[in-house]
């Protein structure tokens, strides 16, 4: 895609996607973060030799994650810029391993030799633990972006998961197919806190996509490519809805019965069971 090459496969795949997030206007300055649960067996076989490049550094987790014990993650570093993902990959990314029965996060590679994982590490790990179980291991990648149209909606709509989900599903049939599990709204909270990690875990038990109201999106999917597509679809639908609000609001509503019909027809091919809100927008 970009001709970008790196000696670590997962960095080679992830860095161009992060750079693209910046080009889309989703991750200004140090905004946003990314993590990818790696296939531990593959990683051990192919990459173990790289781990001697750095002295291991440990962080004791306030929120232990026993379900992730032994897992490796590619993670963005605290304060790092998505814009620099392809030009400075060894600073922007690090690889950590969860050890000691989930109590310790050990940096085994990267972060420019002295950095540390993202300030949102607690939420990323909690999200992985929840989504690994809910998706039976399918989902591996978590992406947080400050997508502007979606953030704008948080100031125009009530803080309601049903209202937001319904508004976006109505914008394009693709939305229902890409996020049939809808969007859960987490009310405004301090970024990087244990509180937001806890609230996010509850929301992520229901859906792969959550809105950190007045802040951004937090989404989980199978690969860097598919999580990008998920965020892209949500942001496009948000842009259409915001345009409609600027024009005085939608004059007509999609009949959710059509979505119910679609869900029956597509059934097993949907990525998650649909969660069709009963309430009408604004009610
Ligand atoms: O600065 O986006 O949520 C990184 C963030 C915190
Ligand atoms: Zn953020």
Atom of ligand 1 nearest to the CA of 79: 1
Q: Calculate how far, in angstroms, residue 122's C-alpha sits from the geometric centre of ligand 2.
A: 13
Rounded to whole angstroms, how far apart are CA atoms 104 and 197?
17
Q: Which residue is closest in CA terms to ligand 1's atom 1?
A: 31
CATH domain 1-118 topology: L-fuculose-1-phosphate Aldolase (3.40.225)
Query: Which of 28, 120, 124, when mutated, tests ligand 1's pocket best, judged by the most ligand atoms within 8 Å of its CB?
Result: 120
Residue 10: exposure state from Cβ atoms within 10 A (0-12, 13-18, ≥19): buried
CATH number for the domain running over 120-283: 3.40.225.10
User: Digits of tens for pLDDT over the chain (283 positions)?
Assistant: 569 999 999 999 999 999 999 999 999 999 999 999 998 777 777 777 776 555 678 999 999 999 999 999 999 999 999 999 999 999 999 999 999 999 999 998 999 968 999 999 999 999 999 999 999 999 999 999 999 999 999 999 999 999 999 999 999 988 999 999 999 999 999 998 989 999 999 999 999 999 999 999 999 999 999 999 999 999 999 999 999 999 999 998 888 888 888 888 887 788 888 777 664 444 3
- Fold match between 1-118 and 120-283? yes
Chain centroid to CA 44: how far?
25
Ordered by start, the domain boundaries in the chain are 1-118, 120-283
Q: Calculate how far, in angstroms, residue 249's C-alpha sits from the geometric centre of ligand 2.
A: 28
Give this prediction's pTM: 0.94
Calculate helix-pair angle for 256-266, 161-169, nearest 10 degrees.
Answer: 80
Contacts of 123 (CB under 8 A, 6+ apart): 144, 196, 197, 200, 218
Chain centroid to CA 202: how far?
15
**Is there a catalytic annotation at residue 120?**
yes
Q: Calculate how far, in angstroms, residue 200's C-alpha sits from the geometric centre of ligand 1.
A: 15
Pocket of ligand 1 (CB under 6 A): 30-33, 119-120, 144, 191
Rounded to whole angstroms, how far apart are CA atoms 61 and 146?
26
Tokens 């989703």 belong to residue: 26
């Amino acid at each position: 895609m970009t001709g970008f090459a790196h000696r670590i496969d997962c960095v080679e795949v992830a860095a161009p996607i992060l750079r693209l997030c910046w080009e889309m206007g989703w991750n200004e300055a140090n905004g946003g973060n990314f993590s990818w649960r790696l296939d531990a067996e593959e990683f051990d076989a192919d990459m173990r030799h790289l781990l001697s490049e750095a002295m291991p550094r440990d962080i004791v987790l306030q929120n232990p994650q026993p379900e992730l014990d032994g897992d490796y993650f590619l993670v963005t570093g605290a304060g790092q810029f998505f814009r620099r993902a392809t030009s400075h990959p060894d600073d922007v990314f690090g690889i950590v391993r969860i050890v000691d029965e989930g109590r310790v996060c050990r940096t085994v590679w990267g972060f420019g030799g002295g950095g540390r994982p993202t300030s949102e590490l607690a939420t990323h790990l909690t999200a992985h633990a929840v989504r690994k179980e809910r998706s039976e291991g399918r989902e591996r990648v978590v992406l947080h972006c400050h997508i502007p149209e979606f953030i704008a909606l948080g100031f125009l709509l009530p803080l309601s998961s049903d209202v937001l989900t319904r508004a976006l599903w109505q914008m394009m049939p693709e939305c229902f197919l890409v996020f049939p599990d809808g969007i859960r709204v987490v009310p405004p909270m301090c970024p990087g806190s244990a509180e937001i990690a806890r609230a996010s875990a509850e929301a992520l038990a229901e859906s792969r996509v959550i809105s950190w109201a007045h802040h951004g999106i937090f989404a989980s999917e199978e690969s860097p490519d598919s999580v990008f597509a998920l965020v892209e679809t949500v942001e496009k639908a948000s842009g259409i809805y915001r345009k409609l609000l600027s024009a005085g609001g939608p004059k007509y509503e999609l009949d959710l019965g059509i979505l119910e019909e679609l869900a029956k027809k597509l059934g097993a091919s949907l990525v998650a069971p649909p969660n069709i809100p009963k309430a009408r927008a604004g009610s």
